[in-house]
Chain A
Amino acid sequence: MAVKTLIEAVNEALREEMERDPSVIVLGEDVGVHGGVFRATEGLQKEFGAERVIDTPLAELGIAGIAIGAAMNGLRPVAEIQFADYIHPAFDQIVNEAAKIRYRSNGAFSCPIVVRAPFGAGVHGGLYHSQSVEALFYHVPGLKIVIPSTPYDCKGLLKASIRDPDPVMFFEHKKSYRRVKGDVPEGDYTVPLSVADVKREGTDISVITYGVGVHLALEAAEKIEAEAVSVEVLDLRTIVPMDKEAIARSVSKTNKVLVVHEDNKTGGVGAEIAATIAEDHFEELDGPVLRVAAADTHIPYAPTLEEAVIPNVDDVLAALRRLAAY
């Protein structure tokens, strides 16, 4: 198996799916001639032609709308939004059209689109190249949301998303693109949606997380092992629909839960996880469900301030220690 970066896994998944299924097309700003600002679509236009790898105008509403129309006419479009920060103009198309098509056509139409978008902070992108947007879509019925943490998962999940009959929001943490490397098998495989993955087994505390949170949690788990605290790391991989069975298994094993994500704390995915656990597993809890998340503010440009706002390993460690002592 070859060790690849997360961005290479994205590229490989797109190429293989386009080879496998002629109805798969890619569209977005600079995805064609240029190969994407992060090189996610590098070489695809040369290989599959400008009809299947389409450079669009700088208009996210249009990208989403074109993808939805193409999907209703039998194609499987993968739309790239260059930065998740710019997805907001497309919000109306995604929420009012893509998410509702199956429902309002009484099942006669579906909308098999994938909207890919790099997101997240930690690369000094400032206000408009750092946002986490998953919670905005999290609230909307009819959208699946996938956030991979490793290259292996990324390739398998992207392929599964492209083959899914309904709209999938596929968010890739841009800090992970080249920093996270891992084994990626050649050839076809998928990782099922809505199935969480235990990235590390433990007995004392469960960290439920996704995306870069997985790497923070694994590093913290490694460090706190010296203090005789055994941490389990559950990578949700798909945040909607959430793998509640995996959460149940982990909660009933460790009885203490920490949720980690880089998105803001208030109204975030962690709030929903904590509420679900409180509703379904109250009598299995041996401590409060804690959250480590970004402060409720915008991502600052100054590196020191950015570091202060987004969660780091020390924040996770502090929360783990608090839970361990509880």
Chain B
Amino acid sequence: MSTTITMPQLGESVAEGTIGKWLKAQGERIERDEPLVEIITDKVNAEIPSPVAGVIERIVVPEGQTVPVGAELVVIGDGSSLKEVVAGVGEAEPAAAGQEDGASPAAATAELAERVETGATRGDGEAAPKRASPLVRKLAREHEVDLSLVRGSGLGGRVTKNDILAYIEGRGQVAAPAAGPATAARPAAPAAPAPAPRPGVQVAPDEELVPLSPMRRAIAEHMARSVQTAPHAWAMMEVDATALVKLRESLLGPWQAREGFELTYLPFFVKAVVAALRENPPLNARWTEQGVVLKKRISIGIAVAVPDGLVVPVIPDADQKSIAGLAHGIRDLAGRARAGRLSLDDIQGGTFTVNNTGALGSIASGPIINQPQAGIITMEAIVKRPVVVAEDAIAIRSMLNTCLSFDHRVTDGAEALRFLHSVKRRVEAYGPDTPIY
């Protein structure tokens, strides 16, 4: 008995998909829910798990080819059709068969038959029960994983932490939303092959076509949609960060000694932004045709540059965290983002985005809103400048620009500037007595 897998409908208005990469070769054993193939569409990139256990009997569509939804992709069966093919070479003693024939194609076929055999043995459920550590059993409970389906790479076939995390991640891919960051959730997978260039792209001899990575394509789609649907309005405000600079300098040594990594400005900024969002709910919202949806939770997306693009992992309920808690959260997310180890949960649920453009030296920028949010704020470089202060004196102060793009459908300039002013007030209020724990 065999099952034919077809190109799935990966989202509304998606009519076709491209085979990015086959994760199993013809003749290989596959378990139910094990990743089978990477599909690339113009909206979503997803790893499709196998709906059945069995052996890959026939791959119909090769990598790089684009086919319509519903087209036949692969046939998964019990391996009997493959065995028939190799039966003439000697089913029971593949090694002998190889010697007998001497020719390499026959040896390869024999090896294929052997793989089919061992695959079948592992799948028949007679093996010893899977051993797993308390951590793995807890993860299995939380993510409703049947441990017998997870291949163990530890001592004695033990399912390790990495085994189950890879399994959960592979399974999660299919539900990946259209957001660009989703593609980054995969652990350092070999760069997905680019879909074949669409017909009609003319590349002159003095030009070079850089194929789109799935992440590049998702970012492009996401940014274009945001600008096309949300009218972006922009404002900038000047903030005096002198006291914050002093505060951070005084904390650097003890923080490094206690926490073991560098304390950046970003947690201070995020703390100020969440407090300002609490005071100005219309900025923590989303536009719909039926009305403006105000969000009660405040979860902050942090823009993180990664090779080949950008991801925006989220600090959930950022308003409930101390500066130290935010610092740890940011460090964890940024580290995993750069290592390509974010999970789906890490990139979902953001209600507002903070972009620390100042880290790259920018002093003003016009960010694009991360849909479906109402706004995005950038914290620009802190620069020492001569500033006119009280009594008409000129002093050297550490100044910082903060820029806001907001969805003008959701709210207006007065509200947005009140929000920016809250941020400014909070940042300027930092001082030697600010608690960070």
B133 to chain A, nearest CB (A): 4
Say yes or no for A279: interface residue by CB 8 A criterion.
no
Q: Does B390 contact A (CB under 8 A)?
A: no
In the complex with contacts A201-B260, A286-B161, A326-B134 CB distance below 8 A:
no
Q: Is the CB of A287 closer than 8 A to any CB of chain B?
A: yes
B257 within 8 A of A: yes
Question: Is B260 within 8 A of A326, CB to CB?
Answer: no
Contact present for A286 and B160 (CB under 8 Å): yes
Contact indicator B258/A283 (Cβ below 8 Å): no
Mask for A180-220, Cβ within 8 A of B = 1, else 0? 00000000000110010110010000000000000000000
The yes or no answer to A255 lying at the interface (CB within 8 A) is yes
Q: Is the CB of B134 within 8 A of A284?
A: yes
Cβ of B155 under 8 Å from chain A = yes
User: A286 — which chain B residues lie within 8 A by C-beta?
Assistant: 133-136, 160-161
Task: Indicate if A282 sits at the interface (CB-CB under 8 A).
Answer: yes
B158, A255: Cβ atoms under 8 Å? no
Q: Is B281 an interface residue (CB 8 A)?
A: no
Contacts of B261 in A (CB 8 A): 201
Least CB distance, B226 to chain A, in whole angstroms: 35
Q: Which residues from A are CB-within-8-Å of B134?
A: 282-286
Bound: A197/B134 CA distance, A:
27
B138 CB-CB contact with A under 8 Å? yes
A326 to B159, CA, bound (A): 9
Interface SS of B by simple majority:
helix
Q: Are B258 and A325 in contact (CB under 8 A)?
A: no
Contact pick for A326, options B138, B158, B258, CB 8 Å: B158
Q: Name the B residues within 8 Å of A284 (CB-CB).
A: 134-135, 138
* B135 and A255 contact, CB distance less than 8 A: yes
A197 to B138, CA, bound (A): 29
Let me know if A283 and B260 touch, CB within 8 A: no
Q: Is B62 an interface residue (CB 8 A)?
A: no
- B155 to A326, Cβ gap below 8 A? yes
Given known contacts A191-B257, A195-B258, A201-B260, A325 and B135 CB-to-CB distance under 8 angstroms: no
Contact between B133 and A285, CB atoms less than 8 A apart: yes
Encoded as 1 (CB less than 8 Å from any B CB) or 0, chain A from 264 to 288 comes to 0000000000000000001111110
Least distance between B58 CB and chain A CB atoms (Å): 36
**Min CB gap B337→A, angstroms:** 15
Most buried by B among A191, A284, A287: A287
Tell me whether B133 and A287 are in contact (CB under 8 A): yes
B68 touches A (CB below 8 Å): no
Cβ contacts under 8 Å, B260 to chain A: 197-198, 201
Q: How far is the CA of A283 from the CA of B137 in the complex (A)?
A: 8
User: Considering the chains assembled together, what is the distance between the CA atoms of A287 and B137 in angstroms?
Assistant: 12
Find chain B residues with CB under 8 A from A192 CB.
Answer: 258
Q: How far is the CB of A72 from chain B (nearest CB, A)?
A: 33
- Give chain B nearest CB distance to A201 CB in angstroms: 7
Interface flags, A302-326, vs B, CB<8A=1, else 0: 0000000000000000000000011
- Complex CA–CA separation, A201 to B154 (angstroms): 23
What distance in Å separates the Cβ of B358 from its nearest Cβ neighbour in chain A? Answer: 26
**Assembled-state Cα–Cα distance A326/B133 (Å):** 9
Nearest chain-A residue to B159 (Cβ)? Answer: A286
Q: 1/0 contact trace for B231-271 toward A, CB 8 Å?
A: 00000000000000000000000000110110000000000
Contacts of B137 in A (CB 8 A): 283
Known contacts A195-B258, A286-B161: does B154 contact A325 (CB below 8 Å)?
yes
In Å, the complex CA distance between A51 and B135 comes to 59
Residues of A within 8 A of B258 (CB): 192, 195
Given the known A-B contacts A255-B161, A325-B155, are A197 and B257 also in contact in the complex, defined by CB atoms under 8 Å?
yes
Interchain CA distance A255-B137 in the complex, whole Å: 13
Residue of B136, B138, B161 with highest tally of chain A CB at under 10 A? B161
* Min C-beta distance of B255 to chain A, whole Å: 12
Closest A residue to B341 using CB positions: A203
CB contacts (< 8 Å) of A198 on chain B: these are 260
A-side contacts of B161, CB under 8 Å = 255, 286
Residues 284-306 of B, flagged 1 when their CB comes within 8 A of A and 0 if not, give 00000000000000000000000
- A284 to B139, alpha carbons, bound, how many Å? 9
Complex contacts, A326 vs chain B, CB 8 Å: 133, 154-155, 158, 160
Q: How far is the CA of A285 from the CA of B160 in the complex (A)?
A: 10
Most buried by A among B135, B136, B137: B135
Q: How many Å lie between the Cα of A2 and that of B137 in the bound state?
A: 51
* Least CB distance, A156 to chain B, in whole angstroms: 9
CA distance A152 to B138 in the complex (A): 41
Encode B140-181 as 1/0 by CB contact (under 8 A) with A: 000000000000001100101100000000000000000000
Q: Chain A nearest CB: distance from B150 CB in Å? A: 14
Q: How far in angstroms is the closest Cβ of chain A from B341?
A: 10
Q: For the complex, what is the distance from the CA of A189 to the CA of B108, rounded to whole Å?
A: 69
Q: Kindly provide the distance from the CB of B399 to the nearest chain A CB, expressed in whole angstroms.
A: 32
Scoring A197, A282, A283 by chain B CB atoms within 10 A of each residue's CB, the highest score goes to: A283
Kindly state the separation between the CA atoms of A326 and B132 in the bound complex, as whole angstroms: 10
For chain B, residues 168 to 226, give those with C-beta under 8 angstroms from any C-beta of chain A.
none
B-side residues, CB < 8 A to A, are: 133-138, 154-155, 158, 160-161, 257-258, 260-261
A positions within 8 Å CB-CB of B: 191-192, 195, 197-198, 201, 255, 282-287, 325-326
21 contacts between A and B (CB under 8 A): A191-B257, A197-B257, A197-B260, A198-B260, A201-B260, A201-B261, A255-B135, A283-B137, A284-B138, A285-B134, A285-B135, A286-B134, A286-B135, A286-B136, A286-B160, A286-B161, A287-B133, A325-B154, A325-B155, A326-B154, A326-B160
**Which 3 A-B pairs give the minimum distances between C-beta atoms?**
A198-B260, A286-B161, A286-B135
